[in-house]
Structure 1
């Protein structure tokens, strides 16, 4: 994190490692003090996801349909609305366009080989149209681009909603680098190349880590856990519990068969909702430990890793 995190508008460019990257992003934003002003560009179908998707929709996330002819106008409209945003915001872009999985990695490697590009091992090839549009529309408004790299620690399984519900913890390592928006190239082709180089360096960084190296040489910053958030959660939990208990007493819900039936239906809906959330959060095994046959390490990665 940087000293200005949460105090300035920022675009966040991140790799997409797990099924609950949105939760990791929320934790970062919460620690930076800007959770209420954090948005991201997400798949349109996710806004229908119970509870989580609805909260994203109410938070004015930008939802795209993965059809550029339609998404271009959606993104432009979303970027225009941000110009009147009254507080420092974060806008997250997963420029890989999809979550990192083994089959998708193999497809990306084959495409990279066919086009003579650097062959990735731990990231997918970035899709830069959305980023180019964001930079062109928000260059005068947003002062910085945060390059976020995160991964699950070695020998840890990827986190999912199911593992969280089971109380299993995962160690996630995060690195954040701040780039001035004014330093980004002007033309669309140069912005695309800048993003491509960023992901080549990101891939080399992760490759070095999974080969036994350290996760960067920067000083580790302890963000701490703000007491304010814990206090708010406790207060709201108490209020909701008291309200629910009072409602049950007022309606005498369990005194009739109808009340018991309504309660059973409500409990069933809760269970179904949780199952839907779990199905949307199924992780593969830690694919960094899977054998992958690709071309030798690209020399360009070594150069960018040192920069």
Structure 2
């Protein structure tokens, strides 16, 4: 059932932002009172508290909008999901691909330790992928190596560039930006056993999901294909690893051709269900918010004076504006502009691959400036309410 956007944005915005503030307050108190005594106890509590917030996103997809996410993979890969370190490489098809990562994390049992690397925040984070070597729980590092969301304008620019450099011309994906992937592989090869090649597709019979459609309660269907590769099977040199990534996207392009023709990936469809935990958590948040609001109104007599009424109206207006801004920023057509291939070729000694990486901005991870989250240092910000803002990568960990 669809709802007018104005009817749902305000109450959902209030619920998300207020619960986010409560979660951050609890995390701050735990950081000050518990972490100095026991880091492990603090981490366990922090994971449980963070999950109370992230489950709201799962509820938004699963229950409010009723989006159906179908996972196609073999039984062995499905069994290993969330139980081993893995580097995940994914195409960037829709405005909510990052939310698909949250759903996969929840289905794999690791939602409470999911982190997001934002596009412009990585420079503020602790450095070093090697920090993950001794991480006590299995994690996923998921990279959107295309660097931006798929649109027809960006596809035309990618096709023009591929034609000018002799690269395979893409039809359903953009040309991957390989520097971040190469850096991740070179730093994580010794302790990460697998690469998950994830392909996201929207069936022709289903509307493309967006944040606005989610808030309006409009359903969609998303197909996700997962293929597991053994990390040690990758080549050793950086250039060969970059070529492996480009070849993977050529294969991904063909897989999407098949999906367009058949409406399915053809692999075994795994049953992930629709857990009720997120529904129970959001219902509890809603009840607490209603009771708390009634108490605040009673204590401060907000509606008994013009000052209280004006204050309440301004607060609701600010939340509405913020939600609208976040929804606008999540839209594909407002993301990174398409870049057109240069009209003049550079020297003949410069390879197509190196020109490709110079032509495009590098991804979230870059040689010489590798940045990464450390869970113990992110306790106060890992649950900041950034709804509608697109992560450039995800770090998903499991107990």
With normalisation by structure 1, the TM-score equals 0.78
TM superposition shift of 1:85: 3.5
Larger deviation, residues 152-161 vs 169-178: 152-161
The residue number in structure 1 matching 2:97 is: 21
Kindly state the Cα deviation for residue 75 of structure 1 after the two structures are TM-superposed.
8.6
Query: Which residue of structure 1 lines up, in the alignment, with residue 352 of structure 2?
Result: none
Structure 1 residue 283: deviation in Å? 4.5
Equivalent in the alignment of 2:224 = 174
Are residues 1:113 and 2:163 paired?
A: yes
Pick aligned residue for 1:31 from 91, 107, 123 = 107
Matches for 1:87-236 after TM superposition, within 5 Å = 87-210=137-260, 212-236=261-285
Residue aligned with 1:120, SS:
coil
Distance 1:256 1:85, change over 3 A: farther
Partner-residue secondary structure (3-state), 1:77: coil
* Equivalent position of 1:292 in the other structure: none
3-state SS of paired residue (1:254): helix
CA contact (8 A) 1:9 1:142 kept: yes
Cα 1:186/1:149, change in 2 over 3 Å: same
Contact 2:204-2:263 within 8 A present in 1 as well: no
Q: 3-state SS of the aligned residue for 2:137?
A: coil
* Higher relative contact order, chain-length normalized (CA < 8 Å, sep 6+): 2
**Where do residues 274-293 of structure 1 align in structure 2 (5 Å cutoff)?**
274-283=323-332
How many angstroms does 1:217 deviate by? Answer: 2.3
Cross-structure match for 2:291: 242
SS at the partner of 1:121? coil
Q: Distance in 1 between matches of 2:84 and 2:100?
A: 20
Shift of the 6–99 alpha-carbon distance from structure 1 to 2, 3 Å rule, reads same
Q: Alpha-carbon deviation of 1:230?
A: 2.9
Distance 2:114 2:150 in 1: 23
**How many equivalent residue pairs?**
257
1:269 aligns with 318
| C-alpha distance after superposition, 1:211-235 (max 9, x if no partner) | x224222111110122333333322
Structure 1: runs of 5 or more not aligned = 45-62, 65-70, 285-307
CA distance in 2, matches of 1:25, 1:15: 12
CA contact (8 A) 1:39 1:92 kept: no
Q: Kindly indicate whether the alpha-carbon contact (under 8 Å) linking 1:41 and 1:93 is maintained by their aligned counterparts in 2.
A: no
Measure the CA separation in 2 of the matches of 1:226 and 1:198: 33
Deviation of the 1:237 alpha carbon: 2.8
Following TM superposition, by how much is the alpha carbon of 1:158 offset from its aligned partner in structure 2, in angstroms? 1.5
Contact 2:182 2:242 in 1 (8 A): yes
Match of 1:3 in 2: 79
- Secondary structure in structure 2 of the residue aligned to 1:234: helix
SS at 1:91 equivalent: strand
Aligned-residue RMSD, C-alpha: 2.0
SS of the residue 1:106 aligns to: helix
Question: Which 5+ residue runs of structure 2 have no aligned equivalent?
Answer: 1-72, 334-399
Say whether residues 1:86 and 2:140 are aligned partners.
no
Distance in 2 (alpha carbons) for counterparts of 1:257 and 1:189: 67
SS of match in other structure, 2:162 = helix
- The match for 1:50 is none
The 1:76/1:206 distance shift into structure 2, 3 A limit, reads farther
The structure 1 segments of at least 4 consecutive aligned residues displaced by more than 4 Å after TM superposition are: none
**Following TM superposition, by how much is the alpha carbon of 1:83 offset from its aligned partner in structure 2, in angstroms?**
3.5
Give the match's secondary structure for 1:229: helix
Structure 1 residues 261 and 120, CA gap change in structure 2 (3 angstroms) = same
- 1:102 deviates by 1.1
Matches of 1:86 and 1:26, distance apart in 2: 21
